[in-house]
């Protein structure tokens, strides 16, 4: 299940700084005293469509269901494709439910058609326009993180030149994000070998070179299991540059417990490190219908049972 499919499914269901003061993004008050069915140790973020068999197709009803089941954040890759009115409704319901906004994807960011590695100014301008619009989107939902992927290799250029182009482009994006407290989180992916950004160490190196609090790592546990393994050691090595985590078991890219990753151990390790950010549930349901949605909730209860 690739990012494009996640964005498409999220859109169909409705019709991504370490911290930020609420007043920066619209003065939305964040936490409430809602009592939920489950009391998770960590801040898990479902996406729209994940519980539609229980909650229906209405996005606000889905958010209410997530909160009722103990989930304390939302992840919506396709947020920028929604109308400003819907974005505001989502932001308002998140505040009422005491939920955080996880990542959304920066539209017109790096991809195969306009990769940062090429060093072309027209590609950079497309990305910077996306960054400016991402700031406005973030204001409506009190978002702190936005996902950026640099795109594909430019095979005609030496690797060092490609990396320099990526760093320069990201520095310019960080200049837009940093005054607003918004962080672009760079995600190394496993979807295709054409993608430039592949490993946590490579992403760590780039974040250090960009040298901005507005450029950090999105550590997707599913992708990193596929590309490099040795998950806990690699998280430890890159810890200072990680701002956000995503979840998905391998193989299958479904909920924890459906594959080979020991999520209970990984969650305990990250919890013990003191991480209090969001874990985006960027995966599918292994079983369809209401039965699958309940199985997903039970899977998170089991993986979260590490204390």
23 is a domain residue: no
pLDDT attached to residue 10: 44
SS3 assignment, position 244: strand
Kindly report the CATH number assigned to the domain that includes residue 232: 3.20.20.150
263 is a domain residue: yes
200 is a domain residue: yes
Number of folded domains that form the chain: 1
Exactly one of 107, 187, 255, 293 is catalytic; which is it? 187
223 is a domain residue: yes
Exactly one of 75, 107, 241, 282 is catalytic; which is it? 282
156 CB contacts (<8 Å, ≥6 apart)?
A: none
Whole-number Å distance between alpha carbons of 157 and 119: 10
* Model pLDDT for residues 122-173, shown as the tens digit of each residue: 999 999 999 999 999 999 999 999 999 999 999 999 999 999 999 999 999 9
pLDDT tops 90 at residue 21: no
* Segments forming the whole domain that contains residue 82: 3-15+37-303
187 is catalytic: yes
171 is a domain residue: yes
Residue in this structure with the two tokens 């760093």, named with its chain if needed: 167
Enter the pTM of the model: 0.88
145 is a domain residue: yes
* Model pLDDT for residues 23-73, shown as the tens digit of each residue: 333 333 334 444 456 799 999 999 999 999 999 999 999 999 999 999 999
21 is a domain residue: no
* Model pLDDT for residues 244-290, shown as the tens digit of each residue: 999 999 999 999 999 999 999 999 999 999 999 999 999 999 999 99
């Amino acid at each position: 299940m690739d990012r494009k499919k996640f964005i498409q499914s999220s859109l169909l269901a409705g019709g991504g700084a370490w911290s930020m003061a609420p007043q920066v993004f619209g003065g939305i008050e964040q936490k409430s005293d809602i009592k939920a069915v489950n009391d998770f140790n960590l801040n898990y973020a479902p996406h729209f469509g994940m519980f539609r068999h229980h909650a229906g197709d209405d996005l606000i009803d889905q958010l209410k269901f997530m909160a009722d089941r103990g989930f304390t954040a939302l992840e919506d890759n396709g947020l920028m494709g929604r109308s400003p009115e819907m974005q505001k409704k989502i932001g308002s319901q998140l505040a009422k439910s005491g939920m955080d906004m996880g990542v959304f994807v920066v539209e017109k960011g790096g991809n195969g058609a306009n990769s940062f590695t090429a060093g072309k100014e027209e590609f950079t301008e497309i990305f910077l326009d996306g960054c400016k619009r991402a700031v406005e989107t973030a204001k409506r939902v009190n978002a702190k993180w936005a996902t950026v992927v640099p795109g594909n290799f430019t095979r005609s250029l030496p690797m060092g030149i490609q990396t320099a182009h990526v760093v320069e482009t990201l520095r310019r994006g960080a200049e837009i994000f940093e005054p607003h407290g918004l962080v672009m989180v760079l995600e190394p992916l496993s979807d295709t070998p054409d993608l430039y950004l592949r490993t946590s160490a490579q992403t760590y190196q780039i974040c250090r070179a960009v040298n901005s609090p507005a450029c950090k790592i999105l550590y997707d546990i599913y992708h990193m299991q596929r590309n490099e393994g040795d998950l806990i050691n690699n998280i430890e090595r890159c810890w200072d540059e990680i701002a956000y985590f995503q979840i998905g078991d391998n193989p299958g890219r479904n909920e924890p417990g459906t594959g080979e990753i020991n999520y209970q151990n990984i969650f305990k390790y990250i919890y013990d490190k003191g991480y209090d950010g969001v874990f985006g549930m960027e995966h599918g349901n292994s079983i369809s219908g209401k039965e699958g949605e309940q199985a997903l909730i039970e899977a998170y209860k089991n993986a979260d049972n590490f204390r």
